Amino acid sequence: MQGNIASAEGALAAGCTFFGGYPITPSTEVAEHMAARMPKIKGSCFIQMEDEIASMAAIIGAAWTGARSMTATSGPGFSLMMENIGYAVMTETPCVLVNIQRGGPSTGQPTMGAQGDMMQVRFGSHGDYSIIALCPSSVQECFDLTAKAFNLADRFRTPVFLMADEVIGHMREKLEIPDSVEIVRPKTLPEGMLPFTPGPDGVPGFAPFGTGRYTHVTGLTHDERGYPDTTNPARHDALVRRLVSKIEDARHEIADYTIVNEDAEYVFVCYGAPVRTVKEVVDKRKVPKTGYLQLRIVWPFPEELLKRFPKCRAFIVPEMNLGMIVREVGRHVKIPVIPVSRIGGELHTPEDLIEAVKIAESTT
Amino acid sequence: MRDEWFRADRLPHIYCAGCGNGTIVNCVLEAVSMTGWDRKNTVFLSGIGCSSRAPGYILTDSLHTTHGRAIAFATGVKMADPSLHVVVFTGDGDLAAIGGNHFIHACRRNIDLTVVCMNNHIYGMTGGQGSPTTPLGKTSTTTPYGASETPFDLVDLAVAAGANYVARWTSFHVKQLTEAVLNGLNTPGFSLIEVRCQCPTSYGRRNKYREPVDYITHLKAHAILKDKWESMEKSGQDMPADSFPVGEFVRRARPVMGVPDEA
Amino acid sequence: MKLEIDESRCKGCNLCTMVCPYKIYRPGSRPNRKGIYIPELDRPERCPNCRLQELYGRRLCGVCALICPDQAIRWVPEKPYEPMKVVIEY
């Protein structure tokens, strides 16, 4: 099965009942599959919106009726969604976005893979905020992580991003679909509690429309009741810090990763499609002194994991961009961090990475 | 009763003295209270602008969204849960400029929404810039020598795009407006009620209608009933400057989306 | 019923003075604490809603309350309500 379709199936398994989409290569198969499947599921709705701005708006609207909602897009569409992604963050709306990354900037390479949106997903909308981004490296992970994304979205009341890429999205692999997936819905808003009063974990209970709580939802800085309060510096400070900390504080608890060879001297830090080349180098060719850390949740970045390699002399970060997560790694460690950048749409070859190990050996 | 629909703790609202938006909120809530709808199942949405602050004063679930996108959000709400009654407040800049695409596509889909456009011919919240409905020659901060672009006719736009119910009134015609909103609420499919209203602060001040009473007198004098307008057109008369037709323009039963299944 | 203007809401736009068919509202002559000229009432008992709302069991006219952008106009029950005093005009 194809990665895109596995992602759509993962969403359906997780109980996604609303999909708002707009065609864009290389993510279109997600929408096409939803268009075929959803009308046959009672209470589900697929709608093709007039643009990506509207798609993002529609899934936020749907999420406020209590539905699990999702959209899928790629680079240019992702840029259009930025405005309403900020709105979803500010209003604490649970929703899932699949971004099948392609070469950019602008229209770039519609049919080639890239990982150039990894900073945009974290910082792309205006203002300070934090989100959760998952990166699958196989078709199975497309399924599993999409289903997981819904649970994270509901738990933290935040947009959650599945940052796949064209390589994974269009790859065909064997997929095992479990009989059922774990479904964790948001906490309900306790009686007598205001709709934006945070719980102990910083996340407020959720009172969707139609439950008689008369929630006012606004993208303006708001108080616990949801009413705008835009000129009080303390209010804004407290709200935005809470929106960030509810996610960042949980970064080690929700971390999803694989560590191989903890005593390695040269450690690959990888996510998404490059994981496959890293596995070839470390697991199959068994290049000496190498190990890797695969991140399935890249944002919030679990920097403590970097300390799990006590003998590490250098981190090597292969990415299909000119160096994004490599900066995040470099921010947290004092040893050399070597980027292996590859853009243009092709994966790293094992030789690229072996060469990087040699460079690491010569510089440390 | 209309009063039950207000968030009384939020009043008085932020609108300037004499602003037509407050009148329109009254009329919409009067109409909504006449439908017998449950407040629990009614949702008000809006975008950005003066008009879009309205849902914040209404005691229902309400979604104050991003600029121009209210109808796209409303599409999501209505399609995900067709049992909810969905009303959208929007302004002329919100609906016709930045939200123009969402507007015509919602008309085309004929989604069961009621959209009330508070058309004050200006961007009021940002201090009086020209909008796509600023009449030719009128002054705003971005058209200091008079607007030189032809304005949109929102009613024609909605009719052409396929909406099931389209009406236009002014903030003077409170009784007719209330009835039109009620008709819009009761008509399955997309309903647009355009309300020409006064903005004494940003528009009137620069266009010789500083006093709300003068402004609304002007609106009243230049609103011509649709039937009269059409007969004037037929007889080849010159239309008085700044005048516009008011009334019900379309009421039809094209196929709709977002209504609950019969089952 | 008694006609009331809520001073905490009224912003003095005078639209009520324009629409009332009985000319019950007059532009205010003295500013209140907030500097707003609240309209004054001229023999409000002439308002049909004041006289007849209880009898008909529904709101009559009500244009002033509908057009009031600030939701400042309302009718409050007068106590004790005495139906004997209601005179129906034909």
**A305-340 burial string, b = 16+ CB within 10 Å, else e?**
bbeebeebbbbbbbbbbeebbbebbbeebeeebbbb
The residue in chain B having the minimum alpha-carbon distance to the alpha carbon of residue C19 is: B172
A3-169 and A258-363: identical CATH topology: yes
What is the pLDDT, as a whole number, of residue C87? 67
> What span, in angstroms and rounded, lies between the C-alpha atoms of B147 and B125?
19
What average pLDDT is seen over chain B?
A: 95
> Token pair 């599959």 is at which residue?
A33
Chain B residues close to A222, C-beta within 8 Å:
none
What is the separation, in whole angstroms, between the first and last Cα of chain C? 20
3-state secondary structure (DSSP) of residue A58: helix
Residue (of A277, A297, A282) closest to A168 by Cα position: A277
CA distance B21 to B61: 20
Q: How far is A179 from chain B (nearest CA, A)?
A: 26
| Contact state of B81 with A67 under an 8 Å Cβ cutoff | yes
Per-residue pLDDT of chain C (90 residues; tens, 9 = 90+): 889 999 999 999 999 999 999 999 999 999 999 999 999 999 988 898 888 888 888 888 999 999 999 999 999 887 665 655 666 677
Task: Say which CATH topology domain A258-363 has.
Answer: Rossmann fold (3.40.50)
Reported CATH class of domain C2-85? alpha beta
Does A353 reach chain B within 8 Å, measured CB to CB?
no
Tens-digit pLDDT profile for residues A80-97 = 999 999 999 999 999 999
Which pLDDT does position C85 carry in this prediction? Answer: 60
Q: Which fold has domain A3-169?
A: Rossmann fold (3.40.50)
Q: Measuring CA to CA, how many Å separate A92 from each of A217, B117, B136? A: 9, 28, 43
The helix or strand, by DSSP H or E, that contains position A268, with its residue range, turns out to be strand A266-270
Could you report the per-residue pLDDT of B163-191, keeping only the tens digit for each?
A: 999 999 999 999 999 999 999 999 999 99
Query: Cis peptide before A105, with omega less than 30 degrees from 0?
Result: yes
Q: Which residue has the tokens 């509690």?
A: A193
CATH number at residue B234: 3.40.50.970
> In angstroms, rounded to a whole number, what is the distance separating the alpha carbons of residues A89 and C17?
47
pTM: 0.95
Mean pLDDT of B241-255: 95
ipTM: 0.95
**Cα distances (angstroms) measured from residue A342 to each of A17, A295, A339, C74:** 38, 19, 10, 71
Q: Calculate mean pLDDT across residues B52-79.
A: 96
C-alpha distance from A96 to closest chain B C-alpha (Å): 14
The CB density around residue B125, as the number of other CB atoms within 10 Å, is 19
Å between A194 CA and nearest CA of chain B: 13
Nearest chain C CA: its distance from B198 CA (Å): 11
Helix (H) or strand (E) holding A350, with range, is helix A350-363
- All residue ranges of chain A with pLDDT < 70 are none
Residues B156 and B133 sit within 8 Å (Cβ to Cβ)? no
Report yes or no on B193 lying in a domain. Answer: yes
Residue B256 falls within a domain, yes or no? no
Domain regions of chain C by residue span: 2-85
Q: Is B79 on the interface with A (CB under 8 A)?
A: yes
Looking at the domain assignment, is residue B120 inside a domain?
A: yes
Q: Buried (b) or exposed (e) across A1-39, using 16+ Cβ within 10 A? A: bbbbbbbbbbbbbbebbbbbbbebbbbbbbbbbbeebbe
How many other C-beta atoms are found inside a 10 Å radius of the C-beta of residue B72?
A: 32
Percent of chain A beyond pLDDT 70?
100
Domain encompassing residue B57: 2-251
B172 touches chain C (CB under 8 A): yes
Contacts of B180 in chain C (CB under 8 A): none
Q: How far apart are CA A347 and CA A319, in angstroms?
A: 9
Region B223-246: what's the mean pLDDT? 94
Interface test with A, best of B9, B37, B60, B65 (most A CBs within 10 A): B65
